[in-house]
Structure 1
Amino acid sequence: MSTTGSGQRAYIGSFTSAGGRGIITAAVDAETGALTPLHATDEVPDPSYLAPAPDGRHLYAVSETSDGAAAAFALTEEGPVPLGAPIPVGGAAPTHLTLWSGHLLTANYTSGSVSALPIRADGRLAGPAAVLQHEGSGPHPDRQEGPHAHAVLPDPTGRWLLSVDLGTDSVRVCELDPVSGKPAVRDEVRLRPGSGPRHLAFHPRGDHAYVINELASTATPCRWEAATGTLTPLTETPVLPPEADGNYPSELVVSHDGRFAWAANRGHDSISVLAIEASGAGFSLVTTVPCGGHWPRDLTLHPGGRHLYAANERSGDVTWFAIDARTGVPEAGGSIEAPAASCVVFV
């Protein structure tokens, strides 16, 4: 296997219920960014989101089903090998996961909760899950009738966990309760009602965070103070020109040098290029480029920082782009077939 962070293998998650092949393993050309499919494993239904372990030896996946589960894999030359049966997360339709403080955390969209599963020394998952149930709602009658946790990720210091909830228009800042083993909310930060926050990414300096809003087609820069776990929303910026409509952004990623951010747009089927202010406190829309497919559910930056990848769910492909280091504008490079693609990660 490749060494951690070298990016010589890509793992593509997908929806098996929509014809996906499960988890596709692909080789990566570090110079061109090109992907070459190697094999696929479909032991786990709907592995829509993946997270590699820092040691590069294990891979974790949600099973985005109504029952909700998470699975662990050992990474081998023959592809991911399941480490036991999937473990129930105690929540419905987990859409996102992360590793934090010796646990696997999942954001469970339908049930509006966050679950924590201990990770054993051999990489296997243990149960039962400790579940933090979100409460609240928002003004959108169809999408915000209750909580809908959509993403969980630790801050750069590793002390805090941030949970982004589309249904309650808020981000919860959590710590891990040492007794119960589940996240404990220390603060709930409110965003504009009806904005529908979906995912969050940090500036490489760690002093700002950026929330992508699915229902409003905007992004919200926030000041982040790690010493106190304080998240402060600052502004809200459209990720598309004013005339664009019918769009639902899915993901936002930040360049390694903190000069640019890119947002994936489902509906507009594009990637927005955002120039970040030197302070990190705001950004402006530079341009948009076609995503190379339909309905980009995920956008990922290669660890080398030179290539960007879009998982286009409805057209069933993954496209890659070379990034102009001066302008931040992605240039299309190529694509591979990946039915019902939902995310890309690198090891």
Structure 2
Amino acid sequence: MKQLRIGGYGPGIVTIAAGISPGLTEVAAPSFLAAHPSLPVLYAAGELDSGLLTAFDARDGLTPLDERPSEGSLPCHVAVDPTGSLLAAANYGDGTAIIQRLDGRGAFDGDPIVLRHKGSGPVAGRQEGPHAHQAVFHDGLLHVSDLGTDEIRRYRYDGTPVEPIVLHPGTGPRHFAFAGSRLYVAGELDGAVTLIDGEWRTVAPASRHEGENSLSHLQLEGDLVYVGNRGPNTISVLRAADLSLVAEVPSGGDWPRHFAIDGDRLYVANQRSNAVTVFALRDGVPEPTGEAYEVESPACVLIT
């Protein structure tokens, strides 16, 4: 098994590796983690009102390397571009996103480009203002989902904004993924997955269960789309071609906030039941293995 790095709202980052006792690196509310593509460096978003981004040297445990403010409140996502020269972070609290240069060690270099935003949506109590939720580098642009304004905001790497991708009012875009010209978006507020390919759009419910469903993470693997359903507490598997439902299985806990896939294994962070549950993938469908790792309030699983 590769190393599992688990972040969340507990006392810090938990590292799990075969043959080694779980390790804890204390850091405040590391709700999302990202790895440098070529250096042994790990990044954590500290989801606090006065948000912090922390870089760790991961060669021997996790040793703090650098730390910077996130320039906003409640940073909930961090990502590194494929070249390893830029980092982006999304702040849920006020919708601010940043682009930060990285140096040859993977540390923060110079001042960030701060991307502030305005706007709102129709869902009372959730869309009173911008809420940046995920940052993704794709096709020469930084894409930022904004749950509060129903947009995928887009920026050039110098911070220049370009035309956003506008979603149906009340979607509440959370996590998203690209496959060629196709864009798949998980709507936290409407409980549906939206597929966009040019002018063609398909919207499909992520769960067959009735009642509220706050979608969490979305991930593409081959010709399948995986999405977490908070409320039904399930993981759904959809066909990437048309969003038809392949399977929906219990997540093994309460409030599946995030998951990660590694080969034929799926690891689900069930935030409210303090466990990361392990599934085997059989023809793409998750099957319980009976394995689980006890972790306080897990919110992110990173495989390194």
Shift of 1:124: 1.4
Q: Could you say which residue in structure 2 is the equivalent of 1:227?
A: none
Q: 2:286 aligns with which of 330, 333, 336?
A: 330
Q: Could you say which residue in structure 1 is the equivalent of 2:172?
A: 196
Shift of 1:270: 0.6
Q: Could you say which residue in structure 1 is the equivalent of 2:137?
A: 154
Contact 1:10 1:345 (C-alpha < 8 Å) held by counterparts: yes
2:3 counterpart of 1:13: no
Q: 1:298 aligns with which of 258, 277, 290?
A: 258
Look up the equivalent residue of 1:22 and give its one-letter code: G
Query: Across the two proteins, how many residue pairs are aligned to each other?
Result: 301
Deviations 1:180-236 (A, max 9, x none): xxx321111110100111011122xx231200000011001122xxxxxxx656111
Shift of 1:28: 5.2
Shift of 1:245: 1.1
Q: Could you say which residue in structure 2 is the equivalent of 1:309?
A: 267
Distance 1:27 1:247 in 2: 33
Q: 1:175 aligns with which of 156, 160, 164?
A: 156
Distance 2:17 2:147 in 1: 34
Deviations 1:64-117 (A, max 9, x none): 10011100001133x211113x21121110100111262211000011111122
Structure 1 residues 153 and 288 mapped into 2: Cα distance closer, same or farther (>3 Å)?
A: same
* Structure 2 SS opposite 1:297: strand
Contact 1:293 1:317 (C-alpha < 8 Å) held by counterparts: yes
User: What TM-score do the two structures reach when normalised by structure 1?
Assistant: 0.83
Contact 2:191 2:212 (C-alpha < 8 Å) held by counterparts: no
2:286 counterpart of 1:320: no
Give the number of the structure whose residues are more often strand, by fraction.
Answer: 2
Look up the equivalent residue of 1:250 and give its one-letter code: S
Q: Could you say which residue in structure 2 is the equivalent of 1:247?
A: 213
Q: Could you say which residue in structure 2 is the equivalent of 1:274?
A: 238
Unaligned stretches of 5+ residues in structure 2: none
Contact 1:191 1:233 (C-alpha < 8 Å) held by counterparts: no
Distance 1:89 1:28 in 2: 33
2:31 counterpart of 1:52: no
Look up the equivalent residue of 2:6 and give its one-letter code: I
Look up the equivalent residue of 2:298 and give its one-letter code: A
Deviations 1:271-294 (A, max 9, x none): 0111222xxxx2111221110111
Unaligned stretches of 5+ residues in structure 1: 1-6, 30-35, 178-182, 224-230
Contact 2:99 2:157 (C-alpha < 8 Å) held by counterparts: no
Q: Could you say which residue in structure 1 is the equivalent of 2:229?
A: 265
Deviations 1:124-168 (A, max 9, x none): 12353321012211000100001100000111x4x1211100000
* Structure 2 SS opposite 1:192: coil
Distance 2:200 2:101 in 1: 32
Distance 1:69 1:286 in 2: 39
Higher relative contact order (CA 8 A, sep 6+): 1
Identity within the alignment, %: 38
Distance 1:118 1:342 in 2: 26
Q: Could you say which residue in structure 1 is the equivalent of 2:52?
A: 69
Shift of 1:314: 0.8
Distance 2:169 2:95 in 1: 17
- The residue correspondences of 1:99-178 to structure 2 (distance < 5 A) are 99-100=80-81, 102-155=85-138, 157=139, 159-177=140-158
Distance 2:39 2:18 in 1: 15
Distance 1:232 1:322 in 2: 37
Shift of 1:247: 1.6
* Structure 1 SS opposite 2:109: coil
User: What TM-score do the two structures reach when normalised by structure 2?
Assistant: 0.94
